[in-house]
Amino acid sequence: MIAEALQYLATAALTGSAHRRFVRYSVSLWSRAGRCSRDWASHEANSKEAISAAISGLSQRRTAVVLGSGLLRDVPIEDLAGSFDTVVLVDLVHLASVRLGLKGKRYRNVRLIERDLSGYDDLKAGKDAEPLGFLRSVPYLDFVVSANLLSQIGRGVKRRYEAEASPGMPADTVECLIAAHIQGLADLPCRTCLVTDISYAVIDLTGKVHEEADLLHGVKPPDGKASWDWPVAPFGEESRDYTIVHKVIAAL
């Protein structure tokens, strides 16, 4: 608890007021990642391998952007920082420990940006949802990866939509913004990589599936070049009686 409190206080002090309310979630994720490090290791390695494979053969490596950089546990930051002139990490929150780690590695070509990537505010304002439209202004853009972010956008949008009950928001807001993210990647004039969990299952000790859900709310993702299981909540994390396993794909 002390470590979490220190992480929270240090990160909150470094986070803009618009995104400070998300610090608690980021710290909770950081804490779970530490507890589940052994069970998450394969997922993190697979994510890194998919991203490294996506940049293989690129003739120009000027600017790379990581959408949903998070804890950087699933991002091959050393490979990216060593391969590109500039690496831009984009997320709602950049934890103090992540900032410190980057500083310790002396990655002088890595830049951090705080940004809401959901597109919700544009939709609320009656505008077309173009959550990745800002990438058009990034100079010399050669590579973009969406790193285990898309289902989190869906989750966050659903929570906000239900909490605010804003008039004028379309009934299919969640689906619309998930689709806008996928289309935004497809429209970019550079190489892209989408790594995302697409579904989950709640499984008991006997292997029986008690619950399943589509994390992309019916929106079809691009065909995956690779897929794997990610035990987000292994036995003992939320219950001794069941595990929650997510299906992850990498579309290059």
Residue 7 counted as domain residue: no
User: What is the tally of structural domains in the chain?
Assistant: 1
Residue 136 counted as domain residue: yes
Q: What value does the CA radius of gyration of the chain take, rounded to a whole number of Å?
A: 18
Residue 137 counted as domain residue: yes
- CA–CA separation, 229 and 24 (whole Å): 26
Q: What is the CATH number of the domain that holds 90?
A: 3.40.50
- CA–CA separation, 29 and 23 (whole Å): 10
DSSP strand pairing (191-204 vs 209-214):
antiparallel
Compute how many other C-beta atoms are within 10 angstroms of the C-beta atom of residue 184.
23
Residue 215, amino acid? L
Give the residue numbers spanning the domain of 119: 38-251
Longest CA span, the chain: 53
Residue 42 counted as domain residue: yes
pLDDT tens for each residue of the chain, 252 residues long:
899 999 999 999 999 999 999 999 999 999 999 999 999 999 999 999 999 999 999 999 999 999 999 999 999 999 999 999 999 999 999 999 999 999 999 999 999 999 999 999 999 999 999 999 999 999 999 999 999 999 999 999 999 999 998 788 999 999 999 999 999 999 999 999 999 999 999 999 999 999 999 999 999 999 999 999 999 999 999 999 999 999 999 999
Residue 33 counted as domain residue: no
Residue 15 counted as domain residue: no
pTM above 0.85, yes or no: yes
Segment 106-158, tens digit of pLDDT: 999 999 999 999 999 999 999 999 999 999 999 999 999 999 999 999 999 99
Residue 215 counted as domain residue: yes
Residue 132 counted as domain residue: yes
